[in-house]
């Protein structure tokens, strides 16, 4: 029997190694795509913690590896997304328009969404479907006062301020930022033709506004439409019938590369976005802020009761 030359054995070994390396290299893109980790960023308030947890649990149940990094301010979260540190976030149309893109014109919810989507496209950031969830400002009334007066819109409140002899005792509570912003208190009063004495306007911590409305220490308070305390404390948010407050529709914003690497991701996030609205978000925020549940438990409850593809 003819023995194989040591040189031939060595050559075959090298050829096998080269072939193996080539096969691994060829398979690498598919493996990398299948195992890509998604980094999800979130801001530093209850709604964002809940949205991040709902999204993470949902995507993990569909086979994704998701890392959540939360607790950031808007500009820090945005910077991390632009720099590729995050793959996806939940952001708000109004925040993008006013804070990131410095838009000053009044836009409808649809027009604002299309504008911020178009502005972000060259940056490699894709705005998926906006949810019905609109976390904007509202003027809120204590439930008893709203029921007694039948006021449901800011225009009706403005008329009440002109005709009610006791209106000079109405106290309006708001946070200091809104009171001093150029697009805040002053233009709101001008839009609706309202006026208050200095003694009637109280600058307060945002959280104290809800408590003061609940305790009937305020007649009017600046609130957020999806805050759980609106429902928990029976506060009645008034319709902004002159559309002063900009829309803040919550929307998944995803880096283009992440969508290209995960072909099903856009449809999945769009399905989640469609399942969110103000009532659903109020309930989840209330469960965390007033009922003492964790964001993880609230997210799991939501996913059990809202089947998603």
The C-alpha atoms of residue 159 and residue 242 are separated, in whole angstroms, by 14
- pLDDT tens track for 242-298: 999 999 999 999 999 999 999 999 999 999 999 999 999 999 999 999 999 999 999
Residue located via tokens 């019938």: 241
What mean pLDDT is predicted for residues 130-151?
Answer: 96
What is the pLDDT at residue 236?
97
Question: Residue 133: is it exposed, middle or buried by C-beta count within 10 angstroms (0-12/13-18/19+)?
Answer: buried
- pLDDT tens track for 197-223: 999 999 999 889 999 999 999 999 999
Q: Say whether 205 sits in a helix, a strand or coil.
A: coil
The dihedral over CA atoms of 292, 294, 298, 304, expressed in degrees to the nearest 10, equals -130
Its CATH class, for the domain covering 137-237, is alpha beta
- pLDDT tens track for 164-184: 999 999 999 999 888 987 778
What is the pLDDT at residue 177?
84
Rg of the Cα atoms in the chain = 26
Q: Which of 258, 263, 264 lies closest to 308, judged by CA?
A: 264
Domain 37-134+247-305 is found in CATH 3.30.470.10: no
CATH code 3.40.190.120 region(s) in the chain = 137-237
Angle between helix 265-274 and helix 46-61 axes, rounded to 10 deg: 130
- pLDDT tens track for 85-120: 999 999 999 999 999 999 989 899 999 999 999 999
Q: In what order do the strands lie in the sheet with 125-127?
A: 65-72, 37-43, 88-92, 250-255, 125-127
**The model's pTM:** 0.82
The C-alpha atoms of residue 126 and residue 112 are separated, in whole angstroms, by 15
CATH code 3.40.190.10 region(s) in the chain = 37-134+247-305
Asked if 146 and 135 touch (Cβ cutoff 8 Å), the reply is no
Asked if 226 and 94 touch (Cβ cutoff 8 Å), the reply is no
């Amino acid at each position: 029997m003819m023995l194989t030359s040591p040189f031939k054995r060595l050559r075959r070994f090298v050829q096998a190694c080269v072939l193996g390396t080539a096969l691994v290299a060829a398979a690498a893109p598919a493996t990398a795509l299948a195992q890509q980790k998604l980094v999800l960023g979130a801001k530093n308030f209850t709604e964002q913690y809940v949205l991040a947890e709902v999204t993470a649990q949902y995507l993990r149940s569909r086979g994704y590896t998701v890392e959540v990094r939360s607790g950031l301010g808007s500009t820090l979260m945005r910077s991390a997304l632009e720099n590729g540190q995050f793959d996806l976030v939940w952001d708000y149309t109004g925040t993008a328009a006013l804070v990131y893109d410095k838009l000053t014109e009044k836009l409808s919810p649809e027009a604002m969404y299309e504008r911020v989507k178009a502005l972000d496209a060259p940056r490699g950031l894709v705005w998926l479907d906006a949810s019905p969830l609109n976390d904007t400002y509202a003027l809120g009334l204590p439930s008893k006062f709203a029921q007694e007066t039948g006021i449901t819109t800011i225009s009706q409140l403005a008329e009440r301020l002109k005709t009610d002899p006791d209106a000079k005792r109405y106290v309006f509570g708001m946070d200091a930022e809104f009171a001093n912003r150029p697009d805040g208190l002053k233009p709101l009063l001008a839009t609706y033709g309202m006026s208050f004495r200095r003694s009637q306007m109280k600058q307060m911590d945002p959280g104290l506004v809800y408590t003061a409305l609940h305790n009937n220490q305020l007649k009017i308070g600046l609130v957020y439409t999806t805050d759980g305390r609106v429902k928990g404390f029976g506060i009645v948010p008034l319709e902004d019938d002159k559309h002063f407050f900009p829309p803040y529709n919550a929307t998944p914003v995803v880096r283009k590369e992440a969508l290209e690497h995960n072909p099903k991701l856009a449809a999945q996030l769009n399905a989640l976005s469609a399942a969110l609205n103000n009532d659903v978000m109020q309930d989840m925020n209330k469960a965390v802020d007033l009922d003492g549940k964790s964001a993880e438990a609230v997210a799991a409850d939501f996913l059990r009761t809202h089947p998603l593809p």
